[in-house]
Every structure is written in structure tokens, then in C-alpha cells.
Amino acid sequence: MKEYKIEVFDSGTGKNKKKRNTKPKTRSFGYQVLGFGSGGVLPAIVDYLVVAGGGGGSSGGAGAGGYRTSFPGGTSFTLEGGTPYPVTVGAGVTSGTQRGGDSNATGDFSISSTGGGSGGPQSAFPTVPPPWGNQAGYPGGSGGGAATGNPQAGGGSGNAGGYSPPEGNGGGQNYPLQPGGGGGGGASQGGSPGPALTPTGGKGGDGSANSITGSPVTYAGGGGASSGSGNQNGAGGGPTGIGGGGNGATGGGGRVILRGPNAYSYALSPPSNTQANDGTDVVMTFTVTGTVTPS
């Protein structure tokens, strides 16, 4: 059994008054060392999922917003207590805009994802040749699909931010003189091309499923081509998809989700951004741009 020294301290309150400390002299550990109870606050270790806004669909499907996450098994970031951190949530756009809004979350480092590329611009049908023009899809987090047209045009490229692992995939090409445009790219799959000799439009690329909220949700699927028949959005895609591309419509809005230990409190603004405690962690869901302040 280890012996501990009992020390005597002068209280400084009287001439010969002494105060005996009867507690063992041990090495401080745990919350006391780390600052709790003395006004200090530890940095909170937080996982993130950052999805940008989707592009707008034309006759080619729109690309999904870029998808980046630390959950599970990635590099988390830290939030210092008492510091407000900005969170940006990108909006989905119509086909008149080349790509959706970027999303961003900031901690001890910053994580951004790139808005999805819109479907290629649709040229008017000419009465006679020459070619219709360039109907290529626009680049983005995931690229937009090519619009119907002649000559053949390619889908927009994905991973516009140049991240590793990639934030998304490219859109599908069209097929000359066919009614089906290319599908928009998704987080886990590229958009399908408009098939030859059929009236079918290209399928949007599938998104990625993630359980950062506690249950699996699929994010950032590409929009199917709105031209032709049998069009299909990728899993998690379409105008209502989270960060999804539009199928002839406005792309889905982005989302930022943070997951931190429930030993802390988190103030979110504005109030439309929400949080839920699962008994171990707090899941913070941002649907609009705002801030998070841990304490």
C-alpha cells in the first residue's frame, strides 16, 4: 500500500492558527486537470457530414452537391468552448444557374463541399443543321448530365474541389439525335448516359448512405434526365433529396450535420437548426446557414 504524506498549511487567518489538510496528496487527473469546475472548457471532438446544394435539371439531370464526412472512422475536428463557429448550408438551384451553393463547416480546420453541377443547357431545335451547340453538363461536386442535342456532348465532371476521397462523380453524356439526356452524378456513382436508340433518359447516380444521425439516410443522389421516358433519380436524388440533383427542377438543398459528445451543451442559431440527444452524443442538424457555440 502506497503511503501519502499529510501536509499542514498555514491558513493565514490567525497568529498561530493552523489548518490541517487530511486529503491524500495525489496527482490531479480527469476533469480537474482538464478544466472542468474552474471555468475552463475542453474542446469538443465533433464528427461532421457536409453536403452542398444540388444543381438544376434541364433535359439532362442535375448533379448532386458534394458529399464529405468524417463518420464513421474519419478525422474529426475540434470546437473550442465559448467560440461561435460558422456553418454554411448551400442552396439547391434551378437550371439557370451553373451549380448549387457550396456548404462549409468550421472547427480547428474547415470542411467545404462544392455545389452540384446543373444539367447542360438546352438549345432550341434548329430548322436545319448545323449542330445544335454545346449541351455539356456543368461541373460541380457531382457533375450535371448532358442535355439532348447534336453533336454528342459529355456530362460535367465531379469532385470540383479536388478532394480525396472524392466528393462526387461525373454526369452522363447524351446520345446524338436521341430524346434522352444524361443523368446527373451522385456521391457514390456517376450519372448514366442517355441510351442509344431508345426514348429513355439517363438515370441519376446514387448517393451515399450515412448513419451520423443514428439511422441510415442516403444523401447526394443525382437527378435523372428529364427528357425521354422512364427517367430515374439516383438513390437520395431529385429535388427533395438532401443535396440531390433536380430532375428538370430545382436541386435539393444542402445539409450540415455535426455529432458531438453530450458532456457539452451546444447553442445553435438560428433556431430552425435543431439538435437531438441520443444519450451519448448530440446530433446537430443545419438546414440553413448559422452558427454553433459549444459550452
Complete DSSP assignment for the chain: ----PPPEEE-SSSSS-EEE--S------THHHHTTTTT--PPEEEEEEEEPPP---SSSPPPPPPEEE-TTTS--EEE-TT--EEEE-PPP--TTSSB---EEEESSSEEEEPPPBPPPPPPPPPSS-S-----PPPPSSSPPPPPS-SS--PPPPS-TT--SS-S--PPPP--TT-S--PPPP-SSSPPPPPPTTSSBPPPPPP-EEE-TTSS-EEE-PPPPPSSSBS--PPTT-STTSTTPPPSSSPPPP-EEEEEEETTS-EEEESTTSEEEE-SSEEEEEESSSEEEEE-
Instruction: Kindly give the confidence (pLDDT) of every residue in the chain, 295 residues in length, as a single tens digit, with 9 standing for 90 and above.
Output: 444 333 333 434 444 433 333 333 332 223 323 333 333 457 899 999 999 999 999 889 999 999 999 999 999 999 999 999 999 999 999 988 999 999 999 999 999 999 999 999 876 544 444 444 568 999 999 999 999 877 788 999 999 999 999 999 999 998 877 778 999 999 999 999 988 777 788 999 999 999 999 999 999 999 999 887 778 999 999 989 999 999 888 999 999 999 999 999 999 999 999 999 999 999 999 999 999 999 9
Locate 140 and state its grid cell: 460541380
Q: Which three cell numbers stand for residue 173?
A: 453524356
CB atoms within 10 A of CB 225: 42
The answer to whether residues 155 and 189 touch, using CB atoms and an 8 Å cutoff, is no
Q: What pLDDT does 123 receive?
A: 64
Q: Report pLDDT for 41.
A: 56
Rounded CA separation 61/118 (Å): 7
Residue 128: what pLDDT?
Answer: 40
pLDDT at residue number 289: 98
Q: 10 Å Cβ neighbour count for 39?
A: 7
Query: 117 with 243: CB under 8 angstroms?
Result: no
- Torsion angle, alpha carbons of 170, 145, 246, 56, to 10: 100
Return the ∠ at Cα 43 (arms to 38 and 49), rounded to 5°: 150
| Residue recorded with cell 499529510 | 6
Q: What is the pLDDT of residue 111?
A: 98
Give the pLDDT confidence score for residue 148 in this predicted structure: 86
- Taking the mean position of all CA atoms in its chain, how far away is CA 205? 17
Q: Grid coordinates in use for 151?
A: 453533336
Q: Which of 271, 177, 192 is nearest to 225 (CA)?
A: 192
Q: In angstroms, how far is the first alpha carbon of the chain from the final one? A: 40
